[in-house]
Structure 1
Amino acid sequence: MWKRRSVLATGAALSIGTGLSSVGAGASEADVDELPDPDRNPGPNEDWPSHRGGPGHARYIADGHEFEGGELEAAWSVEGAGAGTVAVADETVYTPTDDGVVALDATDGTVRWENTDIDAGMPSVAGETVYLSGNEVIALDRSDGTVRWETEFDSEEEIVWQTVAYGGVYAVADGTLYALEADDGSVRWKKESVGSDDDDEYEFFTAPAAANGVIYSVTGAGLIALDPETGAEVWQKGTIGSQPDTVYATSEAVAYAADGSAEWPLRDAQTGEFVAVGYGFREIAFGEEIHVGGGSDHGYGGGSIRGDEYSWRLDVLYTYGQAVISRETVFAYLTRNAGPPNPEWRDYDEHLVALNKYDGSVKWALSKDDAPVGSVRAISGETIYVDHDGDLVALREETDTDDQPDESDENADTDGENDEGDDQRDGEDDSDAGEDDSDNDPTDNDGGTDSDDGESVDDDDGDVVNGTAGNGDAGNETNAGNETNAENDTDADNVPGFTTGGGLLGGALGLEWLRRKAGVDESTGVNEPSE
């Protein structure tokens, strides 16, 4: 039930100290009247420091790489790590696996550490700590994966996700919103419920999001914005008739699902007033101007957050794809979702597509038959991380061959091409694809439960976290159930630009891809989103 008639409980801040050192501009003792503040950065400054991108979880990168041309190749892959949500910071990739949680070198996929005692997902990175959610919120040391602290909520349900921002960690457990100190997990404040105009008390039921100097969540009384340091109410707007479990935010808008349908009301991030309706199958992505989604009879498309300047639809009804908006481009892996069979609607089925975010025109499309593409787990620097049949694959733009020997040169090594293949068989990648040229400047902060990761609900993007359906990201991560042929074949080593990650088993992807390209084996397809 949403209503709770108990007295509003707001715990006093127990230890506001070192945890506030990373708060953005204008931070510590901000007056509620001065919030929301779009100039206040929730931190950290990475492209994808948390599940679903950043602390706003809107899968939006303001100044990301454009990936012109769509000539992508696999730099590395790690078997069995594709279904979970992903965070990337300081040249390291953090993701849950079937066995626990792993930290991978972003350059070549080698394992930096693995903790097999953790059953959690939806990673967020800030400072020297990785935060995850499952039955509890867990903080791990970034250097070695050891546990720094863990909550004792003893929650009856999975925690959908934690949001790390403003020096704190925010999560909803059994209807109570907790603000924890990032350094030690002590309770900064908590709210069991909030009041409304009808004099009732309503508990929280959405995992929080952070932007504009506030924490956003939803109760039975509507969308609410709270001061991150004190929990004081900034504003509360609207009424709802459903029980969404996720909320997304940017400096421009806040969105949550409406009535269990494909409609997502977008409200002004500063005032909470209604501005637009987005459409998406279990989730949408949006930035400062455009919202994007699909999977229903509205088709796959985008529109303006304010006004009607932009509005477009692809002719691919009932097609789903967790989108990422990066600068001027929408990236999404499109798959059939539902609806009657119709070849005309199957354009771009099992394709990674890049669309102009303003008009929906296709910049490029890459088929699963031609490359190891899949649902987008993260984009960081010059790398797109995807789930390809349960494997986490790092895709990068093909590198030039200027460093190869000139065949016209009498002194050129005529065996150069063979040497390259030998290097790959030895686990070495002489191409630039093995290097991470991305700009990994810290720019960012959704599973325990990203609906996209299969952690509480996540899949991906619907990232199903912990197998719980309903989170916006929950449906995409279920691709982990797709099995690939584990048989070893030396031909796999000859896939251009392909280097398997060390530490975990990482071999089946190359063989499977080669078989598909050679027409030996039929595409196994991708599980339908179960978000």
Structure 2
Amino acid sequence: MPDDAPLTRRTVLQTSCAAAGIAVLGSGAASLPESDETTSDGTDLATTTDWPQLQGNAAKTGVAGGGPASATVRWEHGADGREYHQPAVRGDSLYVSYASDDPGDTASGVVALTTDGQRRWAFETEPDTELLSDTAVGDGLVFVAGQSSDASECDTSTDNVGVLLALDAETGEEVYRRVVAGWFADTPTVADGSVYVVVPGQTQGDGTLVAFDAETGEEQWRYNTGPYGSSSYTAPPVAVDDGIVYVAAMGMAALDAETGSVVWERGDIDSLKSHSDNAPAVRDGTVYIGTGGYGGTLYALSAKDGSTEWTFESGSEQFSSAAITSETVYVSVTAIDDPPEGTYALSTEDGSEQWFQTDVAVTEAPIRGDQYLYAGRDALAVEDGSIAWSVEGEHENTAVAGDTLYPGGESVVAVGEE
């Protein structure tokens, strides 16, 4: 691959510490026609060939309009001692963030590749900044988040601050940088002209969700997760659907996307202990969220008022985010102690189990393609969960765009026929 693609670092430096009390600007959430096949960010659940953010769209439904039929690897990028996060794919480009697996190596950044594996540009952070999140793409900008050890930009006593970066999708130049007092910032969610990041606090109860104008980086509103915040668990990205933002931490809340006002809260679900791998997912008027710590429960909640529609008890402790079709919820579970790990298929109607596959290599959020369910490096038959084929190597953090699977992990590979 060519090494002469441009390397950029903070070429347009616009930094500010997002502070409480800023005026609400309002993003003007877009109004879309009612459809079971479209999310609030305009993603067609049945035919999308892009993968612009975590789980494919702002609602986090994890449904792709394609996917490969075999484990043929077309190209590989990386294998250089770095950990590559889930790529975001828009058109003929994919954007992937990385950080080093070596505690003594501060290398962190974003690389833009063409869908045939050629490097377009690379962006490196300063040594004090580490990118911890997946990328998200919206309207010419690439968003990525993490933490900075330089807390001087905020009036805070904490050692670190959360960081949100916006990069030009064509050049990799930094357009703006925003910092938020807290532990770090997790994967951004982009919807209707806004970008949302969750920043867990250094102490329990300090978590913050901040909504920024995606184009300018100006803060629109913030929501203090209060009793739902946690310093012991990483922060899951939000889901956005039909003008409502769904945020999970120690509990669950639904907020108006334009103003940040509370629509409903479920502080009684205190076993969620959500982490970055179990973001809520929304489809057909139901929010799906599983426990991220000890608990082993998947909740199906009414998107309208937060009431419980059904629950599923797995016996394992940690749930991933879900992939949702009109009839089936696919979700993976991880055991902290002894319960089994694997991937479930459940009925969206009542949560009844359709099948459970325990031989998958990783237990990250699955993705439903046209032919297979992709669970990390494994392709599962949607009828019974049997493993059809697997990609060799330590790969997870998967994206699906068109007929190609893009797993991250020790490297980024493109899987699918030419």
> When the two structures are superposed, what TM-score results if normalisation uses the length of structure 2?
0.71
Q: Distance in 1 between matches of 2:368 and 2:274?
A: 23
1:217 is matched with 247
2:23 is matched with 12
Counterpart AA for 1:114: A
Cα deviation, residue 240, structure 1: 2.5
Q: 1:374 to 1:178 in 2, by over 3 A?
A: closer
2:170 is matched with 143
Deviates more, 1:238-247 or 1:313-322: 313-322
Cα deviation, residue 374, structure 1: 2.8
Q: Deviations over 1:297-350 (max 9, x none)?
A: 3452321132256521235499745422224521124xxxxxxxxxxxxxxxxx
Paired residues of 2:320 and 2:331 also in contact (CA < 8 A): no
Larger radius of gyration: 1
1:255 aligns with 2:282: no
Provide the secondary structure at the position in 2 that maps to 1:115.
strand
Alignment of 1:83-482 (within 5 A): 83-98=84-99, 99-117=107-125, 119-120=130-131, 121-135=133-147, 136-153=163-180, 155-173=181-199, 174=201, 175-193=207-225, 202=227, 204=229, 206=235, 207-218=237-248, 220=250, 222-237=251-266, 239-242=268-271, 243-246=273-276, 247-252=279-284, 253-257=287-291, 259-274=293-308, 275-277=310-312, 279=314, 281-288=318-325, 289-296=328-335, 297-300=339-342, 301-307=344-350, 311-314=354-357, 316=359, 320=363, 322-327=365-370, 329-333=372-376, 352-362=377-387, 364-366=388-390, 368=392, 374-387=395-408, 390-397=410-417, 433=418
Paired residues of 1:240 and 1:258 also in contact (CA < 8 A): no
Provide the secondary structure at the position in 2 that maps to 1:202.
helix
Cα deviation, residue 143, structure 1: 1.3
Q: 1:366 to 1:377 in 2, by over 3 A?
A: closer
Paired residues of 1:11 and 1:191 also in contact (CA < 8 A): no
Q: Distance in 1 between matches of 2:211 and 2:193?
A: 10
Q: Distance in 2 between matches of 1:245 and 1:373?
A: 22
Q: Distance in 1 between matches of 2:383 and 2:267?
A: 29
Paired residues of 1:295 and 1:317 also in contact (CA < 8 A): no
Q: 1:366 to 1:258 in 2, by over 3 A?
A: closer
Cα deviation, residue 384, structure 1: 0.8
Q: Distance in 1 between matches of 2:125 and 2:357?
A: 44
Provide the secondary structure at the position in 2 that maps to 1:151.
strand
Higher helix share: 1
Please, what is the CA RMSD of the aligned residues? 3.3
Higher strand share: 2
Q: Distance in 1 between matches of 2:213 and 2:198?
A: 15
Provide the secondary structure at the position in 2 that maps to 1:189.
strand
Q: Deviations over 1:257-304 (max 9, x none)?
A: 254344332323344222232646452432132222144434523211
Cα deviation, residue 168, structure 1: 0.7
1:481 is matched with none
Q: Distance in 2 between matches of 1:278 and 1:106?
A: 42
Q: 1:268 to 1:360 in 2, by over 3 A?
A: farther
Provide the secondary structure at the position in 2 that maps to 1:152.
strand
1:41 aligns with 2:40: yes
Paired residues of 2:289 and 2:298 also in contact (CA < 8 A): yes
Q: 1:138 to 1:104 in 2, by over 3 A?
A: closer
Tell me the matched-pair count: 343
Gapped runs of 5+ residues in structure 2?
1-19, 100-106, 148-162, 202-206
Q: Deviations over 1:70-112 (max 9, x none)?
A: 2523334333365322111121111123444334333321111
Q: 1:302 to 1:278 in 2, by over 3 A?
A: farther
Q: Distance in 2 between matches of 1:12 and 1:40?
A: 28
Deviates more, 1:84-93 or 1:126-135: 84-93
Q: Distance in 2 between matches of 1:115 and 1:319?
A: 29
Cα deviation, residue 230, structure 1: 0.7
Identity %: 23
Paired residues of 1:86 and 1:93 also in contact (CA < 8 A): yes
Paired residues of 2:113 and 2:121 also in contact (CA < 8 A): no
| 4+ runs deviating over 6 angstroms | none
Counterpart AA for 2:246: Y
Q: Distance in 1 between matches of 2:38 and 2:360?
A: 39
Provide the secondary structure at the position in 2 that maps to 1:379.
strand
Q: Deviations over 1:485-518 (max 9, x none)?
A: xxxxxxxxxxxxxxxxxxxxxxxxxxxxxxxxxx
Paired residues of 1:104 and 1:111 also in contact (CA < 8 A): yes
Q: 1:11 to 1:257 in 2, by over 3 A?
A: farther
Cα deviation, residue 365, structure 1: 1.6
Q: Distance in 2 between matches of 1:393 and 1:40?
A: 28
Q: Distance in 2 between matches of 1:320 and 1:40?
A: 25
Counterpart AA for 1:54: N
Q: Distance in 2 between matches of 1:295 and 1:258?
A: 9
Cα deviation, residue 172, structure 1: 2.3
Paired residues of 2:323 and 2:365 also in contact (CA < 8 A): no
Q: Distance in 1 between matches of 2:294 and 2:241?
A: 24
Q: 1:355 to 1:305 in 2, by over 3 A?
A: same
Q: 1:111 to 1:248 in 2, by over 3 A?
A: same
Paired residues of 1:267 and 1:273 also in contact (CA < 8 A): yes
Q: 1:75 to 1:277 in 2, by over 3 A?
A: same
Q: Distance in 2 between matches of 1:115 and 1:181?
A: 22
Cα deviation, residue 231, structure 1: 0.9
Paired residues of 1:208 and 1:215 also in contact (CA < 8 A): yes
Q: Distance in 2 between matches of 1:181 and 1:319?
A: 35
1:25 aligns with 2:31: yes
Q: 1:64 to 1:10 in 2, by over 3 A?
A: farther
